[in-house]
């Protein structure tokens, strides 16, 4: 829809934003004298004048009084014009006009995301208001002069009529001064916290104190007990969702540093680790890719390549996400973008919001863009948490390619079988197909690939190529990704504003805190103690890889029912990776099992990727209860995927360490 390029207000938007608007904007033709169908009470839509002129009138009895005219590029349907009640306004075409109709909430969202556009729009409204005020002042002066002539003819003095006083000296019309109102006593606001509100905060503290003072009194080293108490407090704080997850992680690291269990350098070592800088680089690169519109362009081409049926488009969304995942490690960011695309596709196929078919498209999108993040080292940010826990000796023999080969069996099985289940559970009642018009229009709006897109393509290909060939050159992934991030910054693709708004700093704070917790447990001796405590429990099944890895899988899945996504991965890894290594198991395979099993979304709010899919579609694609069956099936299939992978891992010699 090239028409969007010629709207002065919208032409300021980036091409990718214009492309996303294609499916949301409708054209409305209004002939001269016809009223514009503005819903003045609900304000559901705004109209932008593309051609012609719209008159704004105020209802006054049986007549309409002209207020102003709106020309090309101006917005029709704004709330109260200079104090005039919305229900009193009438919008009428002064000449044959073409309007663009957009949902009001979406228009407000565009303004909030683009300060320059908001500034220009605000200036337009100010000029409009000043114009109306000037007209009102001129009208009032004319009325006063006319009133003076009448009074002079009647030889009477100026009087107050109803609630309006006419003052001849001032030459203006002033409201009558209202009667004074007696001031009442000022009430002070009081903070009231019920015991139900206090329990989520006090509970973790009490459990931590009990752990320190009562439990494990045989430990002579008080720092060890304090470390365990801090960890227990963190688990219960995450469990009760009393505080944001990154606040909990940072509180643990700060507390152990303040009481002297470890030095501040150790407690906050996560923020100076290679893993943290690798995560910073990949999140920055992901933000840059999204900004250029490259990801959106590739996703549109995937939709165009596949058949235009419901099954074909669902497969395109899922497979597109699976292919793009290694190139865009910011899982929540890519999921939020893809969810918007799946909603647009659902609307293009005329599926009602939150229908069975709409939910199926959203789940296919979620499956490809989020659920199989473990397919590669760069498939998701959380894979780097496992990377940080794996011993250096194991990492030395582990490359991007080896990770991909090891994760491929489970990834393909879970992907294929879950997609089949989604299509079976959410298939339309009758065969449907989608026209290519919307996708073609969006691609036309995007236009040819820009220099920034081409530059980003070459940078990303170079980074992924360096990851794959790491066994040949031996350069750590951090020192590959970080220069790529800096190249994009030097090219202006990743600028100061994008670094501030496009990078998930909450997740970076959480990761830095979790990495610090990992260092804390190592330095305080907690890892060694946990290994000694758990070894007798797992010793009977240590000689049976199938039973041992199944036990780890089930433990991870059950803990994730209560503990959020990222803390689950780190806590289970800290507890079981050292034990597994002491028993001769490969820490990488144990970590991979943890990643696979933590991907379930049985508890919606425990999985941030699922919530990104839910929120990215403005909560209009599906309801939680609509996809509960898919969640349970997916959780079961992840366990089957681990079972299928075990003999393949054994054949590749990956299950046990080789000394």
pLDDT of 185 > 70? The answer is no
**Is 109 found in the same domain as 21?**
yes
Determine, yes or no, domain membership for 170: no
Residue at 184 is within a domain? no
| Choice between 532 and 642, residue whose per-residue pLDDT is larger | 642
Q: How far is CA 113 from the centre of its chain?
A: 13
In this structure, is residue 261 part of a structural domain?
yes
Q: Are residues 621 and 537 in the same domain?
A: yes
> Token pair of 355, please?
């229908």
- Report which of residues 440 and 93 the model is more confident about: 93
Q: 3-class DSSP state for residue 339?
A: helix
Q: What pLDDT sits at residue 135?
A: 65
pTM here?
0.71
- Given a cut of 80, whether residue 206 has pLDDT beyond it is no
Task: Categorize the per-residue pLDDT at 631 as very low, low, confident or very high, splitting at 50, 70 and 90.
Answer: very high
Helices (H) and strands (E) in the chain — how many of each?
27, 10
* Same structural domain, 264 and 383: no
The number of residues making up the chain comes to: 659
pLDDT for 176 equals 42
43 and 58 in a common domain: yes
Quote the strand ranges of 71-196, DSSP E. Answer: 75-76, 89-93, 97-103, 160-161, 164-167, 172-175
Lowest-confidence region among 136-145, 423-432, 539-548: 136-145
CA pair distance 201, 209, nearest whole angstrom: 13
Whether 293 and 16 have beta carbons less than 8 Å apart is answered as yes
Helix (H) or strand (E) holding 195: helix 195-213
Segment 107-113 shows an average pLDDT of 74
Of 84, 117, 134, which closes a domain? 134
Q: In degrees, to the nearest 5, what angle opens at C-alpha 595 toward C-alphas 609 and 569?
A: 80
Rg (alpha carbons) of the chain, rounded to whole number: 31
Number of structural domains (the chain) is 3
Residue 42 lies in a domain: yes
Whether 543 is in a domain gets the answer: yes
Q: How far apart are CA 408 and CA 414, in angstroms?
A: 10
Residues 433 and 562 in one domain: yes
Domain CATH for 95: 2.60.120.10
Distance CA 591, CA 374 (A): 10
Q: 326 in a domain, yes or no? A: yes
Using one digit for the tens of pLDDT, what is the confidence trace for 236-290?
A: 788 777 788 888 888 888 888 887 878 888 889 989 888 889 888 888 888 888 7
Q: Would you say residue 47 lies in a domain? A: yes
**Residue 607 within a domain:** yes
Predicted confidence at residue 212, as pLDDT, reads 53
Residue 104 has pLDDT above 70, yes or no: yes
Between vectors from CA 502 to CA 286 and to CA 459, what angle results, nearest 5°? Answer: 30
User: pLDDT tens digits, residue range 494-530?
Assistant: 998 888 888 888 888 888 888 888 888 877 777 777 7
Q: Which residue has the higher pLDDT, 348 or 538?
A: 538
Q: What is the band of 485 on the pLDDT scale with cuts at 50, 70, 90?
A: very high
What pLDDT band is residue 170 in, cutting at 50, 70 and 90? very low
Residues 242 and 313 in one domain: no
Residues 320 and 232 in one domain: no
In this predicted structure, the answer to whether residue 84 has a pLDDT above a threshold of 70 is no
Average pLDDT over residues 324-329: 75
Q: Taking 70 as the threshold, does the pLDDT of residue 83 lie above it?
A: no
pLDDT of res. 551? 93
If asked whether residues 573 and 605 sit together in one domain, one would say: yes
Residues 310 and 383 in one domain: yes
**Closest Cα to residue 436, out of 314, 316, 317, 304?**
304
Domain-ending residue, one of 90, 105, 134: 134
Q: Are residues 342 and 474 in the same domain?
A: yes
Q: Could you list the residue range(s) of the whole structural domain that residue 230 is in? A: 200-209+219-268
Do 424 and 299 lie in one domain? The reply is: yes
* Non-local CB neighbours of 438 within 8 Å, separated by 6+ positions: 22, 23, 344, 348
Picking from 93, 114, 134, the residue at the C-terminal end of a domain is 134
The verdict on 253 and 282 lying in the same domain is no
Give the pairing of strands 164-167 and 54-60: unpaired
Buried b (16+ CB within 10 A) or exposed e, 281-291: bbbbbbbbbbb
Percent of the chain having pLDDT more than 70?
78
């Amino acid at each position: 829809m090239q028409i969007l390029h010629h709207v002065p207000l919208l032409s300021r938007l980036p091409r990718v934003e214009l492309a996303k608007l294609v499916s949301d904007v409708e054209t409305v033709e209004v002939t001269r004298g016809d009223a514009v169908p503005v819903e003045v009470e609900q304000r559901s839509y705004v109209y932008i004048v593309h051609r012609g002129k719209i008159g704004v009138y105020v209802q006054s009895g049986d007549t309409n009084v002209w207020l102003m005219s709106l020309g090309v590029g101006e917005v029709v349907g704004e709330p109260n014009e200079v104090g005039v009640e919305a229900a009193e306004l009438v919008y009428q075409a002064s000449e044959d006009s073409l309007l663009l109709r957009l949902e009001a909430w979406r228009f407000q969202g565009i303004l909030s995301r683009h300060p320059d556009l908001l500034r220009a729009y605000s200036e337009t409204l100010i000029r409009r208001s000043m114009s109306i005020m000037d007209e009102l002042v001129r009208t009032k002066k004319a009325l006063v002069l006319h009133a003076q002539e009448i009074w002079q003819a009647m030889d009477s003095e100026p009087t107050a009529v109803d609630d309006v006083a006419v003052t001849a000296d001032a030459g203006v019309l002033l409201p009558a001064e209202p009667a004074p109102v007696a001031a009442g006593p000022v009430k002070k606001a009081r903070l009231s916290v019920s015991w139900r509100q206090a329990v989520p905060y006090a509970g973790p503290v009490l459990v931590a104190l009990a752990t320190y003072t009562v439990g494990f009194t045989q430990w002579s080293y008080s720092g060890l007990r304090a470390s365990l108490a801090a960890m227990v407090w963190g688990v219960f704080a995450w469990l009760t969702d009393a505080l944001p997850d990154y606040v909990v992680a940072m509180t643990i690291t700060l507390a152990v540093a303040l009481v002297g269990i470890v030095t501040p350098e150790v407690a906050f070592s996560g923020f100076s680790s290679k893993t943290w800088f690798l995560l910073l680089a990949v999140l920055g690169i992901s933000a840059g890719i999204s900004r250029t519109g490259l990801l959106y362009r590739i996703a549109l081409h995937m939709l165009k390549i596949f058949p235009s049926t419901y099954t074909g488009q669902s497969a395109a969304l899922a497979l597109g996400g699976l292919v793009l995942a290694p190139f865009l490690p910011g899982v929540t960011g890519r999921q939020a973008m893809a969810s918007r695309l799946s909603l647009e596709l659902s609307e293009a196929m005329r599926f009602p919001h939150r229908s069975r078919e709409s939910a199926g498209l959203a789940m296919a999108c979620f499956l490809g863009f989020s659920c199989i993040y473990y397919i590669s080292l760069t498939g998701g940010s959380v894979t780097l948490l496992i990377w940080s826990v794996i011993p250096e000796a194991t990492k030395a023999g582990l490359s991007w390619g080896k990770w991909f080969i090891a994760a491929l069996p489970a990834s393909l099985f879970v992907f294929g079988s879950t997609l089949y289940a989604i299509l079976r559970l959410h298939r339309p009642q009758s065969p449907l197909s989608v026209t290519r018009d919307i996708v073609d229009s969006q691609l036309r709006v995007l236009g040819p690939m820009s220099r920034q897109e081409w530059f980003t393509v070459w940078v990303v290909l170079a980074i992924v190529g360096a990851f794959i060939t790491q066994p040949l050159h031996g350069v750590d992934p951090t020192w590959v990704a970080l220069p790529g991030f800096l190249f994009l910054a030097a090219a202006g693709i990743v600028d100061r504003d994008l670094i501030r708004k496009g990078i998930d700093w909450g997740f970076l704070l959480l990761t830095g805190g979790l990495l610090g917790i990992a260092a804390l447990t190592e330095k305080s001796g907690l890892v060694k103690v946990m290994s000694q405590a758990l070894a007798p429990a797992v010793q009977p099944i240590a000689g049976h890889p199938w039973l041992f890895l199944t036990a780890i899988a089930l433990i991870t899945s059950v803990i994730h029912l209560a503990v959020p996504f990222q803390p689950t991965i780190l806590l289970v890894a800290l507890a079981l990776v050292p034990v597994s290594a002491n028993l001769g198991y490969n820490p990488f395979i144990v970590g991979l099992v943890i990643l696979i099993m933590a991907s379930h979304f049985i508890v919606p709010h425990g999985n941030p990727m699922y919530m990104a899919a839910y929120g990215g579609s403005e909560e209009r694609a599906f309801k939680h209860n609509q996809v509960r069956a898919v969640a349970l099936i997916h959780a079961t299939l992840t366990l089957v995927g681990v079972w299928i992978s075990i003999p393949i891992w054994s054949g590749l010699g990956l299950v046990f360490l080789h000394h």
